[in-house]
Structure 1
Amino acid sequence: MKKTTTLALPLLGAAATALLASEHLFNFAFKRVNYVPETSADKQKYADAYYAYVDWFKAIPKTTWYLHEHDPRNRMVATYIPAATTSERTVIIAHGYKGNGETMANFAKMYHELGFNVLLPDDRGHGESAGKYISFGWLDRLDYQQWIQQVIDRTSPRVQILLFGVSMGGATMEMLSGETLPAQVKAIIADCGYSSVEAELVYLLKRWYHLPKYPIEPLVSTISKRRLGYYLNDVTSIDQLKKNRRPILFIHGEKDVYVPVGMAYENYAATPAAKQLWIVKNATHAESFWINPTRYRAHVLDFLRTYFDPELPAE
């Protein structure tokens, strides 16, 4: 009996340590923060350009839209920027992890200059929207279905809708692509989205903490199921993209070490719809626009003229 007790104590200690580590990791990754963290050191060189876009965003006429406006626990908030002249083209832009609509100001300006109305939601657990936890796109995709319908209801049944997202926002649009979408949704652009939340977590566990998948990931997945309603392996862009029927452009930085570029190839391979893949040379995570905004705009516009609206201006 004494020998059994001696063996059991280290096992119990290891289990307790794993549980505590998993709880810490879940809270770090999934719990909302009420601020936008500073960008990575390699992106600081773009700070002046970024804040110039933010200044444009703050000055441009806009309105605030809501989902569940009178329910504080479920209220979702978005910024709507109408086109300079009446337009039946609208882009819905999904922001990245721990960002908000304002952090997509550069893309909002790009599309606004192309004649689009722009809708910029704050996702669950981000910005002005409600939510204790970040859902990494899986629950957000349900909110975006409602935002799409609101665009149709509040603008025109003839509206042409583009879905666009970066990083977590890119994955959100990939996950949304597998849902039943109205005919007004014409195309999708996903910049550096991950193939699945589980794969992304396992990758970062190894890269950042030098930890294996087991036992941490299954424990974090169990916490997710209890608090958010899904296991991590339920949340996959790949399975959703297999059901996608909309033309889609995948963009990914060649040197992305946050969402590895291999995930772009996985997402592209999973898609049966018309598709394009642009791997941006020397770009790190979410850097493809910043390396050369003019080239980025031209590449996006070429895709849009092919699959969204040939009447868009050529450059």
Structure 2
Amino acid sequence: MLFYIIFIVFIIFMLSLYFTSNYLLSLVTSRKLHNEEESLKKLANKKILNMNLLKSLDKEDIFITSKDSLNLHGVLVKNSQKTDKFIILIHGVSIGYVGSLKYIESFYNRGFNILIISQRRHGKSEGKYSTYGYYEKYDLDCWVEYLINRFGKQIYLGMHGESMGAGTVLQYPALNKYVKFIIADCGYSDMITLIKFEIKHDFPKYLHAFLLLVLKLSRIRALYKAKFDFSKVSPIKVVEKTELPILFIHGKEDYFVPWHMSVDMYEKKLHGYRQLLLVDKAEHANSIEVNKKLYEEAIDTFFKEIQCKE
């Protein structure tokens, strides 16, 4: 009788482990996407976007092909003033390109042409899984090559990423040939460390051991299903080695991607210029909404410093 009880408990445990790991994998790689039209309306209603500016911009739809044959979509915004300065804006997971729109005014007013991309699986870009920079950094490299081939190697090119976009741009220096600077807003230092933080922060202590086991199983399943390894998504390892100037920005009320991750990366970056802005009262991905003046002052200081060092 005891044997049957143990057997049933074991089966229940294994089924729980299987279904929970499946849920975690789906949550990480196939998170439900926001409706872009609804997201745009919400941001407009909250006065976060300068809609008059957005409507007036010279916009061009662009499609390119990724290294693994996905169609990728971006929108090129040309500045009204002729300029060789370009910046690529990269959004976070699930929000899509709309998440990048709140940064357009800041960079447009500072004389940049702006390329807003939709990462794989978002908007008009193809793809089944989000891989948090594992494949997206190669997509980003395709966009860089597009700009270089079209506008020439003389352009002054930078990147701004938010959340997963920040994670992507922070992994990009391993491939970089042409990019001159990176601005990373609320980026994560390491994917497994981030998931472990969320487990410990969001769930009761008695579930931690079980969920950490779920994480291990989800990582194995991701290798077979989405063809990427959680442990290979570690921006901090790239940051440690790069000399590329980086501005780290993070809200101090961010508990989705904890702000100390940006602090950790800032402290680990020992080569090249680094700058850190922590924004009081800002939650995840809303630092520019909470204190736009401070945000733009940090950008201006960053540009001034890196131009002096060139």
Q: What is the TM-score with the length of structure 2 in the denominator?
A: 0.89
**Residue 196 of structure 2 contacts residue 212 of structure 2 at CA under 8 Å; is this kept in 1?**
no
| CA shift in 2, pair 1:107/1:145, >3 Å | same
**Residue 131 of structure 2 contacts residue 228 of structure 2 at CA under 8 Å; is this kept in 1?**
no
Separation in structure 2 between the aligned mates of residue 247 and residue 155 of structure 1, nearest angstrom: 23
Aligned-residue identity in percent: 23
1:53 aligns with 2:50: yes
Separation in structure 1 between the aligned mates of residue 308 and residue 79 of structure 2, nearest angstrom: 16
> 1:310 Cα deviation (Å)?
8.7
Separation in structure 2 between the aligned mates of residue 53 and residue 18 of structure 1, nearest angstrom: 47
Separation in structure 2 between the aligned mates of residue 240 and residue 228 of structure 1, nearest angstrom: 22
SS of structure 2 residue aligned to 1:127: coil
Separation in structure 2 between the aligned mates of residue 144 and residue 309 of structure 1, nearest angstrom: 27
Q: Which amino acid aligns with 2:10?
A: L
Separation in structure 1 between the aligned mates of residue 150 and residue 31 of structure 2, nearest angstrom: 30
1:22-61 matches, cutoff 5 A? 22-31=21-30, 33-36=32-35, 47-50=45-48, 52-54=49-51, 56-61=53-58
| Cα deviations by residue, 1:211-247 (Å, 9 ceiling, x for unpaired) | 4242111111112111222221121111121221201
SS of structure 2 residue aligned to 1:226: helix
SS of structure 2 residue aligned to 1:216: helix
SS of structure 2 residue aligned to 1:12: helix
**Residue 32 of structure 1 contacts residue 131 of structure 1 at CA under 8 Å; is this kept in 2?**
no
| CA shift in 2, pair 1:34/1:189, >3 Å | closer
Which of 138, 141, 144 is residue 145 of structure 1 equivalent to? 141
1:120-131 matches, cutoff 5 A? 120-131=116-127
SS of structure 1 residue aligned to 2:46: helix
Aligned to 1:258: 256
Separation in structure 1 between the aligned mates of residue 244 and residue 43 of structure 2, nearest angstrom: 36
Which of 78, 84, 107 is residue 82 of structure 1 equivalent to? 78
Which of 156, 159, 171 is residue 160 of structure 1 equivalent to? 156
Q: Which amino acid aligns with 1:156?
A: G
1:1-315 matches, cutoff 5 A? 3-31=2-30, 33-36=32-35, 47-50=45-48, 52-54=49-51, 56-68=53-65, 74-177=70-173, 179-182=174-177, 184-210=178-204, 211-212=207-208, 213-273=211-271, 274-308=273-307
Separation in structure 1 between the aligned mates of residue 180 and residue 264 of structure 2, nearest angstrom: 23
Q: Which amino acid aligns with 1:245?
A: E
> 1:3 Cα deviation (Å)?
4.0
**Residue 159 of structure 2 contacts residue 182 of structure 2 at CA under 8 Å; is this kept in 1?**
yes
Separation in structure 1 between the aligned mates of residue 89 and residue 226 of structure 2, nearest angstrom: 23
SS of structure 2 residue aligned to 1:279: strand
Q: Which amino acid aligns with 1:278?
A: L
> 1:255 Cα deviation (Å)?
1.7
> 1:75 Cα deviation (Å)?
0.4
| CA shift in 2, pair 1:309/1:150, >3 Å | farther
Gaps of 5+ in 2: none
Q: What is the TM-score with the length of structure 1 in the denominator?
A: 0.88
> 1:309 Cα deviation (Å)?
7.2
> 1:289 Cα deviation (Å)?
0.7
- Give the length in aligned residue pairs: 301
SS of structure 2 residue aligned to 1:296: helix
